[in-house]
Chain A
């Protein structure tokens, strides 16, 4: 499982405060604890006004890179901010995100064509988020076609099929599971990613729903996730599920992660 650490995001009130107060230590600590917990990428999202977004990203990225070599995941809804933030990164990371919307692909794909940058791509387009698997898979096909044009290998793509909240879904996550399975059938090496907490929105004891979702999604092919790597319950669930799916010979990863204190610690 590729873990994209989600804790440095201006949408989180404590982070917004740290950004406003330029509290460097707070941000450095968030970077460090996520890197120590085994994050593969550290997501950095400013969630500020557009006019200060790039400078905020720069400040955040610099702080993260002071304490860890874990690659950055540049997270912004504004494609231009991403373009301007790429040079701040010491090493190739992950772009979060493109989609079928507007000119996102036209801007980003040529820019990362001959690099090691990876990119998250959402299965929505100018008509929004479709309710049907067919339409989402059409967006997927379009994204893959464009990636092919720029020689971006499927293994550099993290496809987010966009899980909606469970409480208003008519068939649970069945539709999305179908999309995930079809994506993996077509391109076994493409990554499937997603947030693991949106699904539980507006339900009690959300963490249970999040964990159950994680297990089912991993079973459907999800192998990348935007999560809190320091959450021991979630980390343990990931390792346990990988072992159950036969992705962990003799459960050695599970055992090693436990030995490293990544889960199962007495609180």
Chain B
């Protein structure tokens, strides 16, 4: 088995190196549009994976992701905007002095965004996590709306409904994909730790889990807080990608798109969330063609605004109706499966796709 372990380690390092090389060259050679879609994919991968931690792995149906993103995006934006542009933008009410002269670099701002979002997540989690199923869903949805309404109304901090502009623009692929890869590695480690097993135990049977001595509330709160942390990180990246944010961006619709990724990828599979995150985001951009005017064989076909969302709603319902477990179910990709497929190494250990949930 040792040889196989080494092979796997080498493969992991090689893949990460390959990813680094791809990102480096992608940064140089991709068009701005392509790079933007790739970055957006990275953001949705983070969102999908972190929501999957809460919904798929811990079994809490939480619909608050957009709210945490909102908090993250605003935190990152306020921390990184230059004092001059803050002075220019806040013309309804000046920004409170404590925040006026803050000017942080990108990376600490991303971490701070996650931390603030996690703080709110835990704050909300205390009352909300006593609820279950659809009550939890509607309560978290409510909390996300309340967060958004608070952001709209605290004008001296967030500039209210006008939103923020001139947020520093980040175009480098490695920032986005770096965050995505770190997120996946952290979540993977978490899921395979004793905490992760506790999460899955709670998902499968709360009463049995409690009987085994797992502290339900503590673990639920952990999962919720960590999910909120990464949602905040994704929100920060979103702010740097589109450079202007306003509260209406973070409506429930956003949570819905993330939910689509979780469901399509498979509830309880990080691999699924990664695949679905990229596929859904790219498809969503690609499908823009149905909304633009087309000219086929001399015929003018007018674009239909809103058609994309129709297609995606149908897709969501179809997946739930006919393909309930999504692309991956609760399976994960691992090297054993690939090596078995290739017939390399020893075949003694049944590390097939589907072994680990």
A and B found bound together: no
Taking beta carbons and an 8 Å cutoff, which residues of A are in contact with B? none
